[in-house]
Chains A and B, each alone.
Chain A
Amino acid sequence: MVFVGSDGQLTVPTAVKIVIAGGFGTGKTTMVGSVSEIPPLKTEELLTEAGVHVDDLAGIEGKDTTTVALDFGRITINTKVVLYLFGTPGQNRFWFMWDELATGAIGAVVLVDTRRLDSSFPSIDFFEHRGIPFVVAVNCFDGAQLYTVDEVRHALDLDEAIPVVLCDARDRESSKTVLVGLIEHSMNRLAAV
């Protein structure tokens, strides 16, 4: 791949991102890995005590700093555009990282495990309140499809405009379909403005 502009200057591509959110253990990193062209990478942000409310540090007292780990992958779209997929940090105390992740994002996939529906509520609230386009993807673990799309929509009290799809986060084609659905949803939202 050559990154040289028409004037012969070195260029850098435009980067876009999609956030993969959801509760702990819903398959976020699995989905990132199934579509990423590189094995998921992990990066860490250091967090000093001053940055976190004291109550939120229950269980890790005595540490001066803690770290927030982010898993992410990449898909090179073409020589000018690269897409990054970021899994959200599992612990809800790291909301400040969600803001950086969500800023300028195409949108978000909220992964849902129907055995623990309530674990997806914070993610849905976050994207709803910030007006960030998102789709809900029900990760069907081991082929277990316990509920229909309509039942999930009702249980999560989702607006009709929010797409809900069933998926298998381990499967590349299935994860691709979820991403395509999100991008189309974002384009529709853009057209509606």
Chain B
Amino acid sequence: MTAREDWWYDEAAGPLVRPYAMVRGRTRPNAPDLHLVTQVRVSAFASDQTSLTVEHREIMALCTRPLSVAEVAAYLDVPLIVVKILLSDLIERGDVIVQNSSPQIPDRDLLQAVLDGVRGI
């Protein structure tokens, strides 16, 4: 027998806080148009952060520069769906702004800019 009280918790047990606990059991974001590459950044009018959770604040700290939803999820190390729900909270509060478009096929000018950019790296 071990006296340690945390004996049951090891790597195989997975994360101690289950992902859906971070979002209070919600499974869908209120903002429907968040895709993998949707760009998010902190707005110029971010409100008082005292009522925010740790995860919300981490997102606010990350997104002082524009990042994609996928990057936010990777840096926070939480599943995409969780980040989408947390981001939709911040969008509702007006704390972050997003690129206002669903994914669409790039036009010729955009493709030319990407071509020039890739050639230049």
**Footprint of B on A, CB under 8 Å?**
1, 3, 9-10, 12-17, 35, 37, 41-46, 67, 70, 72, 74-78, 80-84, 86, 100-101, 103-106, 176, 179-180, 183-184, 186-187, 190-191
**B65 adjacent to chain A (CB < 8 Å):** yes
Closest chain A CB from B47 CB (angstroms):
15
Pair count A-B, CB < 8 A: 133
Assess whether B74 is in contact with A43, with CB atoms less than 8 Å apart.
yes
Contact of A81 among B74, B104, B108, B113 (CB under 8 A): B113
Main secondary structure of the interface of B (DSSP, over half): mixed
B-side contacts of A67, CB under 8 Å: 79
Question: How large, as a class, is the contact surface on chain B?
Answer: 35 or more
**B40 adjacent to chain A (CB < 8 Å):** yes
B-side contacts of A14, CB under 8 Å: 39, 99, 101, 110
Contact of B114 among A12, A41, A42, A106 (CB under 8 A): A106
Contact of B70 among A1, A84, A186 (CB under 8 A): A84
Closest chain B CB from A51 CB (angstroms):
11
Assess whether A46 is in contact with B19, with CB atoms less than 8 Å apart.
yes
B-side contacts of A45, CB under 8 Å: 79-81
B-side contacts of A104, CB under 8 Å: 35, 102-106
* 27 residue pairs A–B, Cβ–Cβ below 8 Å: A3-B41, A10-B43, A12-B98, A13-B66, A14-B110, A15-B39, A35-B121, A43-B70, A43-B79, A44-B80, A45-B79, A46-B80, A70-B36, A72-B36, A72-B74, A75-B117, A81-B113, A81-B114, A84-B37, A104-B106, A106-B105, A176-B118, A183-B114, A184-B115, A187-B108, A187-B115, A190-B107
Q: Which of B19, B43, B70 has the most CB of A within 10 A?
A: B70
Closest chain B CB from A174 CB (angstroms):
13
Assess whether A84 is in contact with B115, with CB atoms less than 8 Å apart.
no
B-side contacts of A46, CB under 8 Å: 19, 79-82
**B112 adjacent to chain A (CB < 8 Å):** yes
**B119 adjacent to chain A (CB < 8 Å):** yes
Assess whether B65 is in contact with A3, with CB atoms less than 8 Å apart.
yes
* Bound Cα distance from A75 to B121, whole angstroms: 8
Contact of B97 among A10, A16, A75, A80 (CB under 8 A): A10
Q: Mark B37-62, 1 if CB is under 8 A from A, else 0.
A: 11111011000000000000000000
Closest chain B CB from A137 CB (angstroms):
14
